[in-house]
Amino acid sequence: MEIDMKKEKHSSDKVAEQSTNEILLEIKYRLNHIEDIEADNRAVIIKLVKQTNQIVRFLSKIEIEEVPNDIDIFSHSFPAADEGEKIKKFETLKELVEEFMDKQQDLKEFEEELKKHKDDLTPGQIGES
């Protein structure tokens, strides 16, 4: 008498097998989603590094001339310079100071805006601007 060692599958086994497949598929989809999020995060990090590099390049191009102590900015008196050169130097200095103040104010506003919405930001999430 031979005994059949094969186990017959009952309907409950088929349901359990289907559930296992569904669970594995769900895990697969979630892992794919995590991979996509990490790819987005990597892209954002790359953009931030590029922007930081641009800022460093910009700052390295700024040349600050040493201003002699005998210059009175308010009376426009520059030593040993003709009137046209005095005006040009003063306007250049004024533009540089204004540009610095504008950018400093923009950075402060941006920082305050980030602080306000810190809890709303999700790393890796890209939305409409």
**Does residue 112 or residue 53 have the better pLDDT?**
53
Residue 25, helix vs strand vs coil: helix
Mean pLDDT of the chain: 77
Task: Write down the pTM of the prediction.
Answer: 0.35
pLDDT beyond 80 at 70: no
Q: Residue range 23-34: average pLDDT?
A: 94
51, 89: one domain: no
Regarding whether 33 and 50 lie in a shared domain, the answer is: yes
CA 36 to chain CA centroid, Å, is 18
Q: With beta carbons less than 8 A apart as the criterion, state whether 89 and 79 touch.
A: no
Question: Is 78:89 a contact under the CB 8 Å cutoff?
Answer: yes
- The amino acid occupying position 102 is D
**pLDDT tens track for 2-11:** 455 555 656 5
Instruction: Please give the residue range of the domain that contains residue 71.
Output: 65-129
The mean pLDDT of 100-127, rounded to a whole number, is 76
Do 20 and 76 lie in one domain? The reply is: no
Distance CA 90, CA 71 (A): 10
Query: CA separation (Å) from 28 to 17, 24, 25, 105?
Result: 16, 6, 5, 47
| Percentage, residues of the chain above pLDDT 70 | 69
How far CA 54 is from CA of 28, 82, 111, in Å, comes to: 39, 37, 19
Residues 22, 30: contact at Cβ < 8 Å? Answer: no
Do 44 and 55 belong together in one domain?
yes
- The mean pLDDT of 102-129, rounded to a whole number, is 74
What's the whole-number mean pLDDT along residues 40-58?
A: 90
CB 98 within 8 A of CB 18: no
Number of domains in the chain: 2
Q: What is the DSSP letter of 77?
A: B
